[in-house]
Structure 1
Amino acid sequence: MDNQEALQRTLTRARRALQIIEEEKASYGIRIPPDLVIELEEKQKEVTSLEARLSQLQGQRPASVPNNLPRYNDVFVGRKEEIARCMDALSPEERGWGVAIDGIGGMGKTALALEVAHLARKQALFDAYLFVSAKTTWLSTEGVRPETLALSSLDSFCREFAKGLGQADIVKMTDATERRRALLDALRGRRTLLIWDNLETLNAEERDMIAEFVRKLPTPNKAIITSRRRTGESAVTIRLDHLLEAEALELMREKGKSHPRLDQELNATKPEILTALYQASGGNPLALDWTLGQVAHKGYSISVALERLRDAAKSEDLYGFLFADAAKTLSEKDRTVLSALVVFLTPAKTAALVDATDIVITEIQVSLERLVTLSLVNDLDGERFGLHPLTRTYIRAAVGGTDTVLTAPLSGIRFNSAAQRKVLRYWVDFAQKYGGDDKDAYKTYDKLETEWQNLEGVATTLREMAGIPGALKDRQAAQMLIDLENALYNFLFFRGYWDERVRLGEWCYHAGKALGQWSDAGWGAYHVAWIYYNRADTDWAVRWATQMTEAMERGGSRLDKAVAIGLQGQIAEQRQDWAEAERLHQEELAIYRELGEEQREAIALNDLGAVAQEQGHYDRAESYYKQALAIEEKLGNKANQATYCGCLGNLALNRDRPTETRPWYERELALAQEVGRQDLVADAQAGLARVLEKEGRYAGALPLAQSALDIQERLRDQNLDFSRRLVERLQRKVGME
């Protein structure tokens, strides 16, 4: 009612002003000044406009309110913030000509424009609502279909707008320039909302002419433009991004209400599969709708439809609709930049792209600007650039970095596989620069941590390119995968990426076998076996230790074979076969001493100490541990020093020597935290908790034990059950205090 009253007051003032102008006109007789004639016409239009808007608010349907808005019967969810921004842009207080909505295809730009237009109509913000579209195709579950009514020029848009306003004389004009001027004149004094849809299909000249037209749009008329190309001078610009996951799930549920089979599938599908569908679609409404349509109309399960979405070759209608037209306009540099960006799983800075591609920064910047304009690349805070998941899937297929084989309409659009390979090499070099197992390598592990998502993506891409396990397809990719794993295995162990170390170790093993590089294969198997050993998963440790031994026998050095012997000894230890463990560790120790491998000698001494301790030979165990520690102190390896300090702490605790125990655990903890070795941090914390427990300081012991348990649960460490019992015991004791 407040809106009606305000509009009524505005109308009353406008009618009074119109009456004054009409009286002034009458006073001139037949020689009326041209300016007064124009003022009178504009005021008459304003009064008509206000009357029409007031009729809208009063629930009437006046014939004087032109409206050709399409009926939008599809599901619309979310976008509350975007709607609010659009409505602000259409308000009289906003001085720009309106709002430009851009973004990747399928994000719902047209749907948002129509939602805003219908909302504006409910609020009677305008006296006319006119929609025209340059859309040339539309996507159905059966494929891409042509749109026969698409407009292709500013002049055709002006004809449709004039027709919608009932301006037959303007429609009949033969001169396009005169038509534009006449339409602008006809809009003076009115309040009309013009919606220009899908302008990316027009050529650059037509888009520029439309931009000039809307800049001249007389107030208080407004426009909404939708395009995959960034535009919008003198307007509020909204780059439409992905739906939030909750909104996407709501969209799925709403779609299910109209399709019983889809609803049944949605209810039977695990939540994690629906989340995976959301992630694969990147929250793109069209991709979600297309995928759900495969379920509703073609009988696929959601899991099968999801796999089709992830495979550009099986979803070429979708990917062609989204990307083919834009891809055809790209320069060679643009394609190189996209081929590079597909390797970056996190947004890339310009400097990183320069380093990865060897293209000069000015050319990179020009390409990025064009790619952002085409909505193929997102420009993010901090001058970073990233790809939408659907864009990534398409480009990876176009580059040829997957098993996907593209056909029309995408097969003729090829990207730069050499550029992709160069960026993959960039990341392998990055891992080698900041990784490795040198005693001071831990100091640069933070750089690997920061880029882990990219490095993990590179490993996956290299495995796919190499074709392993299976027939080798790309020797260079297989070698890069081995190089990457060799650079990362120590970092992965230190920082607690144990599952990832298993996966990369397996890939390294298969790549080494495929290349006939048996030492590489053996080390990959060792890195896998070592995690299973540390998780006390003895059967799997045996399986991989056997594969390591076989590989080293076929192509390993004497040192490689000694490491395999040591691993067999540790597994014998885990099986409590003390005699066999002793024999194997003595054998490896002799080889290391013969080869002058001091660090390996310390490892063998530590292994022998563990065997002695388990058999109750504490003095002998202490001697072995201290010999190992002395070697590492000389070599300066802090990670191994932490290991041996922990062993000496455990030994002192077993011997019930608490005054000796605490310093060893404190030293272990300090060293482990310095180098970032997560399993040793947990070991030291659990050890200190046991010392405090013996002292009756249960409240102080519990947080340490709980912290150790948290780490070990994440790692699935072999000491997990022990720490869990320690925490439970301390919780009971704290509760009794």
Structure 2
Amino acid sequence: MSNKKNDFFSNDITFKQVLGLVDELVVSKTGKHLSNIEILVLFGTWQGKKYSQIAAENNYTLEYLKNDIGPKLWQLLSQVLSEKVTKANVKAVIQQRIYQQEQKELKMKGLAGEDGWLNTEEVRDDRETTREQKFLLDSQPDLIIHRTKTQSEQSQFKLKHNLPNRDRAELVGREWELNKLLDLLSWKNPNARISIEGLGGIGKTALILDVVYRFLQGSKILQVSQKNLVWQDPGESLPDFEAIIFTSGKTQYFTECGIVPRWRGEKNFADILKTIARIVGCEGIFTDNFEENYQQIWKHLSNKRTLLIIDNFENLEEQQKILSFLYELPSTVKIALISREKTPFTAVHLTGLTQTETLILIQEQANQNGVTLGLDKSLEIYKITSGIPAAINYAIRLLCAGYSIQSITSQLRSYRGDYCRFYFEGSMQHIEGQTAYQLLMALAVFVKPPTKQAVCVVAAINEHIAANDLARLQQLSLIIHQQGRYVIQPLTREYVLSKMATNPQLAALVRNRWVNWYLDFTHKHGGKDWREWQNYQDLAAEWDNITEVIQWCIKKERYDDVCEMWRNVKCYTYSQGYRRRNRLKYWDAALGWLEWLTINAQKFEDSATFIEVIAERGWKLTLMAQPSCLAAANKLFTQAWGLRQYQTVDWQVNLANHIAVWHIQQKQLQKAEQWLERAESLLDSEEVPSSIAVRLSINISYYKGEIYYKTGNYKLSQELFQQIVDKAQTIGWQRAICLAKDFLADIAIQEGDLHKAQLLLTEALQVAKNNQDECTQAYTKRSLANLEQKRGNLKVACDWAKQAVRAFDKLGMLVELQETQALIQLFS
């Protein structure tokens, strides 16, 4: 029986089903989707490929896939499937799981046989319905088997339609939209008029055709029931339309050979009436009298359950007249309006496919065209198409024709290209030369969705005046208003940018206003003391846009703008290094900006800025604490100290302090102490303002206290850290207080005052949590581990230490990570 069962099911299982099942199980277990490389390994294994083949086809090393990704994937699948999974048995395990799920559903519906599987021999007759037409394992509703109706049955059922052919037999994704549309088209739903809206090429027509072809195939269905095949009406499962009328304002077709005209189609209200008359059977009684024709059509429609589809509504003439007609149709008619523009009807709005859905569609299209695509190239296509089905299909066809990815990108984004002319030109013609056009140009320079205020400033348009024009852009599906920001689809953005490039004067004006907006914005919300806890919520919300502005200014060699922007945002980059980001990766961009500033400060002979940025680079590299980083930091600090006369005294104190920290990192405590003494000597100068001097004094004391602690002089260390707490409280420096208390707790642990240590650490941890400072939390958790070890609670100590390890690892603080891992070994 098992051979017969597997013969029936295994050949019909697609990788789409496999990925859907596995990804759903992984998400339910871990809250995360499979990564791209895990999908790649699973897909290759499903195809029977060895690790070496998968690695070679996708530009990965064999060792990486075989010794790292593969074992972790099989371990993950073992957890979610609750049985041992290996590369050798994964296909059999998943096939069995899919089979078990199907059997469970069949039994719940009373459709399974006594032996637990469908007896295919008993369902064969002259109306063949078995493997050739496939048991639809991935069809969720009703577990039905579709098949072609016999000639006699077709004559009995008189569903009339004029539907066009579909480009695809099955949609990828769109499950939510599909179910929503089915619900709206149901006779139980009171909505008679609906619309499918979205950008050109997003798949609106494909969605409605997928639905209506289900109606067509489901007008009679063959349903499995107690080992017999029984004809049943669709009943409640699908709307029982008697006529499906398709009309379209489409004027052109987009093909791989270019844009070609559509010779037949509807242009206006009269054309739509003629098409309706032809399908419902009253074409022969049409006269020159509009009222009589309208009455005849209304009468026929009132006696026939009808679905009227109007595709490409935005291209039709006499739109108001058509809408008026649709509102007056009888209750026996459901209307589906397909439009790039917003309509007054209940809408199903389409956006791009998800990454997983896009990758599935790319693979299906590639397989149909005989092309083999690795994951890397598939991801490139996803990136340039943004999940738009028409763009994906076009990209695959160009790839088959021998075009490179770079060339395909150019074809898709150029305003002169066929794709942009077909899908964007019509909408742009509606607004060119108007305020809405200026707003769209301004929107396109933002890499991430901007606020209304930002768009209006960059477009140089008053917010009140802009309101209607922004609404117009939304109506044209060129933008979406989402959570107080305006979203422009990436392909639309690239098209608008290419269009704007043809007007250099306009482009320069828009870009200048864009740069100035973010200079003002970062000046207002940045420029803070990075050593203290600050609210950077505004900078965080705009960080991707700010980064884009800096990169653009670097590309255009706008030295002064980059200098000003960097000074405004450097506080935020430090904050992220101790709050939530991995400084080893996150600071790459900032270090790149500093390197560019170093080169250009020399070029423009700007000595003050030159030593400022090389010292900044040295400090960031010191905090990263890697051997190569520390070596580079040493050279930069040496160079900066030699040029210190170009900077203020307080800046020199800060530099001496940072050099002392560098020596502490190298465990050169005596040299570190000498540099702190230099810093104190400079601080005695009357040139340093008192408000700055007190903070610098606290910094110096903090690192002197750390040196005393590390050399075992707990008494002097305690005195310094208590002084820090007292001084910091007078100026409200909360972060300094918290870090000092962590050291006071460590000293209390060493001296056996565990109760005092507990009080200090509990307070410090709560304050750090309140300020989202993961770095300080990690130090405090490590101290709590030491406290619990002293109490003899080794399990609790290990738990605290492991929490600290995870935090240090997340922040890229590898020295602290290794020290804490050594503690865990000691506890064990």
Is TM more than 0.5 here?
yes
Which residue number in structure 2 is paired with residue 495 of structure 1? 579
Where does 1:289-438 land on structure 2 (aligned, <5 Å)? 289-298=393-402, 300=404, 312-313=413-414, 316-330=417-431, 332-342=434-444, 359-380=461-482, 385-399=486-500, 411=502, 418=509, 421-422=512-513, 425-438=516-529
Measure the CA separation in 2 of the matches of 1:455 and 1:549: 36
Q: What's the CA shift for 1:166?
A: 5.3
Work out which of the residue numbers 337, 348, 365 in structure 2 matches 1:238: 348
- % same residue: 19
Which has the higher mean CA deviation after the structures are superposed, 106-115 or 553-562? 553-562
Q: Structure 1 unaligned segments of length 5 or more: list them.
A: 1-54, 400-405, 733-737
Q: What's the CA shift for 1:457?
A: 1.4
What do residues 391-430 of structure 1 show as CA deviations (whole Å, max 9, x unaligned)?
A: 344445555xxxxxx5xxxx47997764565455445544
Work out which of the residue numbers 302, 326, 332 in structure 2 matches 1:220: 332
How many residue pairs end up in the alignment?
645
Q: Normalized against structure 1, the TM-score is what?
A: 0.76
What do residues 138-194 of structure 1 show as CA deviations (whole Å, max 9, x unaligned)?
A: 3344544444445432223333444445555467x5677765565445544233333
| Aligned residues of 2:530 and 2:572 also touching (Cα < 8 A) | no
Seen in structure 2, the aligned counterparts of structure 1 residues 539 and 683 have a Cα distance that, compared at 3 Å, is same
Which residue number in structure 2 is paired with residue 106 of structure 1? 201
Q: Does 1:694 align with 2:790?
A: yes
Where does 1:268-667 land on structure 2 (aligned, <5 Å)? 268-270=374-376, 274=378, 277-278=381-382, 281-298=385-402, 300=404, 312-313=413-414, 316-330=417-431, 332-342=434-444, 359-380=461-482, 385-399=486-500, 411=502, 418=509, 421-422=512-513, 425-438=516-529, 442-445=533-536, 447-448=537-538, 452=540, 454-468=541-555, 472-475=556-559, 477-479=561-563, 481-497=565-581, 498=583, 499-511=585-597, 513-514=599-600, 516=604, 517=606, 519-520=608-609, 522-544=611-633, 546-547=635-636, 550=639, 553=643, 556-594=647-685, 595-596=687-688, 597-622=693-718, 624-651=720-747, 653=749, 658=754, 661-662=757-758, 664-666=760-762
Seen in structure 2, the aligned counterparts of structure 1 residues 67 and 668 have a Cα distance that, compared at 3 Å, is closer
Q: What's the CA shift for 1:68?
A: 2.3
Seen in structure 2, the aligned counterparts of structure 1 residues 202 and 592 have a Cα distance that, compared at 3 Å, is farther
Q: Normalized against structure 2, the TM-score is what?
A: 0.68
Q: What's the CA shift for 1:102?
A: 0.9
Q: Which amino acid aligns with 1:684?
A: T
Seen in structure 2, the aligned counterparts of structure 1 residues 92 and 496 have a Cα distance that, compared at 3 Å, is closer
Seen in structure 2, the aligned counterparts of structure 1 residues 192 and 726 have a Cα distance that, compared at 3 Å, is same
Measure the CA separation in 2 of the matches of 1:283 and 1:635: 53
Q: What's the CA shift for 1:83?
A: 2.6
Which residue number in structure 1 is paired with residue 245 of structure 2? 130
Measure the CA separation in 2 of the matches of 1:257 and 1:59: 36
| Aligned residues of 1:428 and 1:483 also touching (Cα < 8 A) | no
| Aligned residues of 1:127 and 1:190 also touching (Cα < 8 A) | yes
| 3-state DSSP of counterpart to 2:341 | coil
Q: Which amino acid aligns with 2:740?
A: Y
What do residues 105-144 of structure 1 show as CA deviations (whole Å, max 9, x unaligned)?
A: 1110110121122122234433333323222333344544
Q: Which amino acid aligns with 1:489?
A: T
Seen in structure 2, the aligned counterparts of structure 1 residues 202 and 84 have a Cα distance that, compared at 3 Å, is same
Measure the CA separation in 2 of the matches of 1:548 and 1:277: 45
Measure the CA separation in 2 of the matches of 1:217 and 1:414: 52
Measure the CA separation in 1 of the matches of 2:244 and 2:410: 40
Which has the higher mean CA deviation after the structures are superposed, 615-624 or 580-589? 615-624
Q: What's the CA shift for 1:687?
A: 0.5
Which residue number in structure 1 is paired with residue 162 of structure 2? 68
Q: Does 1:195 align with 2:299?
A: no
| Aligned residues of 1:673 and 1:681 also touching (Cα < 8 A) | yes
Measure the CA separation in 2 of the matches of 1:530 and 1:317: 52
What do residues 645-669 of structure 1 show as CA deviations (whole Å, max 9, x unaligned)?
A: 3344445555666566445544543
| 3-state DSSP of counterpart to 2:542 | helix
Seen in structure 2, the aligned counterparts of structure 1 residues 416 and 314 have a Cα distance that, compared at 3 Å, is closer
| Aligned residues of 2:532 and 2:735 also touching (Cα < 8 A) | no
